[in-house]
Amino acid sequence: MIVLGIESATELVGVAVADDDGPRAAVWVTGRRRHAEALAPAIAQVLELAGVELADLGAVAVDLGPGLFTGLRVGVATAKGLGQGLGVTVVGLTSLAVLARAAADAGVFGPVAAVVDARRSEVFCARYVLGDSEGDGERDGAASTVREVAPPRVLAPEALAVELAADRAGVLALGDGARRYAGVLGTVPGLRVAGPSLAAPPPAIVAAMAVGHLAAGGVGTAPAEVRPFYLREADARINWAQRDPMPPAG
């Protein structure tokens, strides 16, 4: 099974190819809100690096969000188009789960908070506990597990800091939201903010997670049914709703 993974939830655009033996190639480019222009060339480049053709793909994986609205629309639309054109399934993943899996694969154990910048002084966040296959959190070489302990939500960084402080547990904060609001989250005793390698969901993890999911008997989604996971209304709709009503005529 060869899978193309698409990542466009943040300012960075990434694509990767993975198979049963792991990632074969990955490409990162800076989207800077020009995801549509960046994604197609990145796909062509990663396929060339991996030595595969589009026809070789058995599935397409995509980060559904939450994240940047424009980036998610571009990534999901591209995944749907490829899935429909190739007649393959699409595996959708969340940006927060991908960040947690990336941390686990990097050898992180214990509590983590995956935090993606939501703009408007808010963040998207979910919390996980990373441990080994026995769930004891010890670094013994066993396959690491990712257990969600708080589902994806949107909240102010200050509210997240209060919540994490109340738990009184050392937490590793991942993602571009954690890095942007490091000053706020840094007030939490014992909290650490991950470095740049865990600032955005890695496309290689998107592809590898999909390969593992399908290999374990999981199924994907029909391309036409794939939808972004926004978690919050688009900024334009929020701005419109917050406008003052027009004064009455006369």
Predicted TM-score of the model (pTM)? 0.89
Q: In this model, does residue 4 exceed pLDDT 80?
A: yes
**What phi and psi values does residue 43 have, to the nearest 5 degrees?**
-65, -45
CB 175 within 8 A of CB 200: yes
Closest CA to 53 of 43, 61, 41, 63: 43
Which residue would you say has higher pLDDT here, 246 or 62? 62
Using DSSP, state whether 170 is helix, strand or coil.
coil
Structural domains for the chain: 3-94+201-237 (3.30.420.40), 96-198 (3.30.420.40)
Pair of tokens at residue 84: 């429909």
CA atoms of 150 and 158, how far apart (whole Å): 17
Look at the block and give the residue holding tokens 């949107």: 154
State the pLDDT confidence band at 233, using cuts at 50, 70 and 90.
confident
Residue-wise DSSP of 90-151: EEEEEHHHHHHHHHHHTT--EEEEEEEE-STT-EEEEEEEEE-TTSS---SSSPPEEEEEEE
Helix axis angle, 203-215 to 95-105, nearest 10°:
90
pLDDT for 249 equals 45
> Span 94-114, mean pLDDT?
96
Closest CA to 115 of 128, 106, 104: 128
What share of the chain in percent tops pLDDT 70? 88
pLDDT for 40 equals 94
CA dihedral (193, 195, 199, 205) positive or negative: negative
pLDDT for 168 equals 74
**Cα–Cα distances in Å, from 247 out to 110, 238, 241?**
55, 20, 16
CA dihedral (82, 86, 90, 95) positive or negative: negative
pLDDT for 32 equals 65
Q: In this model, does residue 197 exceed pLDDT 60?
A: yes
Average per-residue pLDDT for the chain: 90
CA atoms of 185 and 167, how far apart (whole Å): 14
Q: What is the CA radius of gyration of the chain?
A: 19
Show the CA angle centred on residue 2, arms to residues 201 and 134, nearest 5°.
60
Which residue would you say has higher pLDDT here, 142 or 190? 190
Q: In this model, does residue 178 exceed pLDDT 90?
A: yes
160: left (phi over 0), alpha (psi -120 to 50) or beta: alpha
Task: Centre a 10 Å sphere on the Cβ of residue 41 and count the other Cβ atoms it contains.
Answer: 13
Which residue would you say has higher pLDDT here, 237 or 47? 47
pLDDT for 61 equals 98
- Please count the CA atoms within 13 angstroms of the CA of 244 that sit on its side-chain side: 3
51: left (phi over 0), alpha (psi -120 to 50) or beta: left
CA atoms of 75 and 60, how far apart (whole Å): 11
Pairing of the two strands 192-193 and 172-174:
parallel
